[in-house]
Amino acid sequence: MDTEDVGYDGIELMYQKELRGLNGYKSYQIDSMSRIVGDMKLTKPVKGQNLYLTINRNVQLTAQQAILDQIATTRASTVKTLKDAQPTTGYAVAIEVATGKVVAMASMPDYDTNVWQGGISQEELDAITPAMGNGAIREVFPPYDDPKERSQHPTSLVPLGSTQKPLTILTGLMEKLITPSSTWNDPGYFQFGRDGQAEVQNAGRSYNGELTPTKAIAKSSNAFMAKMVGNALYIKYKKDSVDIWDRHMKEFGLGVKTGSGLPKESPGIVDYFNSATRDSYQSAMIYASFGQQGKYTALQLAQYAATLASHGKRMKPLFVDHTTDADGNVVTTMKPQVLNEINLPDSYWKTIENGMAQVKVEGFDNVRYDFYRKTGTSQQQGVGKRKFVENAVFISFAPQDKPKLAVAVVVPDGGYGGWGAAPIARKIFDAYDAEVGLTDAGPRPPLATNVAVDMTQQP
């Protein structure tokens, strides 16, 4: 039957037509009495095509195991940055900057799809249901048995936190709110609203002193983003500020689908429009400026990171490299596709890169490549005695001189991004370097020793 399903979800559903081929059939000429009066005509069946994925097996397996290892490490840790974290899931995507080819996309925990063979019991179905959805591209709930309990924990879509800040600075530069050399004395907070009743604070209300846009990224200053970009954008454009902000976000792939074509892919959850109506346009822009007004998928964050790495080329994520017929002949070869391009002065890109190069991060000791990165620790309302839940988010691309790979990691309820997500990215970069190579020289054998981060002691 033409309507027979081959794929239930993901790439198999996306390439349903190519995979299932064409049915064969026999046809006969008949008369008015439905009697066969002519010879049989045979139309032979055509076998479906073969898909050759962009996914690199070893990088994929490394990403999956790295997430599971980090979840276990975080839950057992007593360090200040992780001790209250209780992650149950994690997501990671690695995408080639120049081509858009996705070499790894992990949504963990996963399950063995062989369980479907020969039928499945209700008990088995209940056990695997939380892992059936791909949390790297859509909203997936954590694996709690009690629906009420499950609904109170972070899903796979979490606020991007401070990974927003490179784009915030670019927005400020594009809208002439700041220049690369602008300065502001950061007291550790920014007050706004009537009589300064509302306040945005840095982590620990840290005093940073005089900051440039570059230093503001390096220090991850919420106050700088709020004062110099979020509030300034509102003052300049008033109610139009939200539309202008939204346009810049979408140019980098935040708040729109990535263009991958994967079924059921989420465009993310944008909250700054609702916040502007519910609270005020000013507060919406201020909180959006440091990453608290949008929730996005790991695939969206990887595309965003790759767009930063390429200096403005947003590439279509590719999951299939080429297809062949049953005899091995190439039928289709997928070509890189630029979805949109943002042209900016080199000084703008250098402003954010200089800041991203200085971000402190754990798990990258003794790497043999340089890289740009930004950590994120987004907060959501907690459950029970936990007033807040902290989600670990991380974006990065390497090497610095000619970025080849961009990686995004999201660990809901995973603690600080630099501790709960960055070590996963390190393992992915190392695996890619060993399999493909982060430089034009090609693959490099794994390092003899990989320095482990001791997460059992206070930092």
Q: pLDDT value at position 14? A: 85
The number of beta carbons lying within 10 Å of the beta carbon of residue 196 is 10
What does the alpha-carbon distance between residue 202 and residue 225 come to, in Å, rounded to a whole number? 10
Q: Up-side HSE of residue 408: CA atoms within 13 Å toward CB?
A: 29
Q: Which long-range contacts (C-beta less than 8 Å, at least 24 apart) are formed by 426-430? A: 426/363, 426/364, 426/367, 427/62, 427/63, 427/66, 428/59, 428/62, 428/63, 428/66, 428/92, 428/94, 428/104, 429/367, 429/369, 429/371, 429/396, 429/398, 429/405, 430/62, 430/367
Q: Up-side HSE of residue 327: CA atoms within 13 Å toward CB?
A: 3
DSSP annotation string for 92-137? EEEEETTT-BEEEEEEES---GGGGTT---HHHHHHHHHHHS-TTT
φ, ψ for residue 73 (rounded to 5)?
-65, -45
What does the alpha-carbon distance between residue 91 and residue 134 come to, in Å, rounded to a whole number? 9
- Choose among 201, 193, 252: nearest CA to 222: 201
The number of beta carbons lying within 10 Å of the beta carbon of residue 148 is 7
What does the alpha-carbon distance between residue 53 and residue 60 come to, in Å, rounded to a whole number? 12
CB burial of 97-117 (b: ≥16 within 10 Å; e: otherwise) equals bebbbbbbbbbbeeeeeeeee
Helix locations, 297-399, DSSP H:
298-309, 346-356
CB burial of 5-36 (b: ≥16 within 10 Å; e: otherwise) equals eeeeeebeebbbebbbeeeeeeeeeeeeeeee
Residues in the chain: 459
Element (H, E) at 285: helix 281-289
What does the alpha-carbon distance between residue 140 and residue 142 come to, in Å, rounded to a whole number? 7
Write the CA distances from 431 to 58, 73, 97, integer angstroms. 7, 20, 16
φ, ψ for residue 318 (rounded to 5)?
-110, 135
User: Do 191 and 222 contact (CB within 8 A), yes or no?
Assistant: no
The number of beta carbons lying within 10 Å of the beta carbon of residue 147 is 9
User: Do 109 and 89 contact (CB within 8 A), yes or no?
Assistant: yes
User: Do 82 and 129 contact (CB within 8 A), yes or no?
Assistant: no
Write the CA distances from 73 to 91, 304, 325, integer angstroms. 16, 28, 45
What does the alpha-carbon distance between residue 201 and residue 171 come to, in Å, rounded to a whole number? 21
Q: pLDDT value at position 100? A: 98
Q: What is the CATH number of domain 56-157+356-435?
A: 3.30.450.330
Query: What separation, in Å, do the N-terminal and C-terminal C-alpha atoms of the chain show?
Result: 62
pLDDT digits (tens, 9 = 90+) for 224-248: 999 999 999 999 999 999 999 999 9
What does the alpha-carbon distance between residue 49 and residue 321 come to, in Å, rounded to a whole number? 13
- Choose among 341, 252, 343: nearest CA to 301: 252
Q: pLDDT value at position 21? A: 76
Q: What is the DSSP letter of 235?
A: H
Tokens of 209: 């002193």
Domain with CATH 3.40.710.10 in the chain: 161-309
What does the alpha-carbon distance between residue 110 and residue 65 come to, in Å, rounded to a whole number? 10
Q: Is the pTM above the cut of 0.85?
A: yes
- Thinking of the domain 161-309, which architecture would CATH place it in? 3-Layer(aba) Sandwich (3.40)
What does the alpha-carbon distance between residue 356 and residue 456 come to, in Å, rounded to a whole number? 27
Domain with CATH 3.30.450.330 in the chain: 56-157+356-435
Q: Up-side HSE of residue 437: CA atoms within 13 Å toward CB?
A: 6
Q: Spell out the per-residue pLDDT of the chain, length 459, in tens.
A: 455 556 678 888 888 888 887 776 778 787 777 787 777 787 777 788 899 999 999 999 999 999 999 999 999 998 988 988 999 999 999 999 999 999 999 999 998 877 877 778 887 777 787 788 899 999 999 888 777 777 778 999 999 999 999 999 999 999 999 999 999 999 999 999 877 789 999 988 889 999 999 999 999 999 999 999 999 999 999 999 999 999 999 999 999 999 999 999 999 999 999 999 999 999 999 999 999 999 999 999 999 999 999 999 999 999 999 999 888 999 999 999 999 999 999 999 999 999 999 999 999 999 999 999 999 998 887 766 677 889 999 999 999 999 999 999 999 999 999 999 999 999 999 999 999 999 988 999 877 644 444 444 333
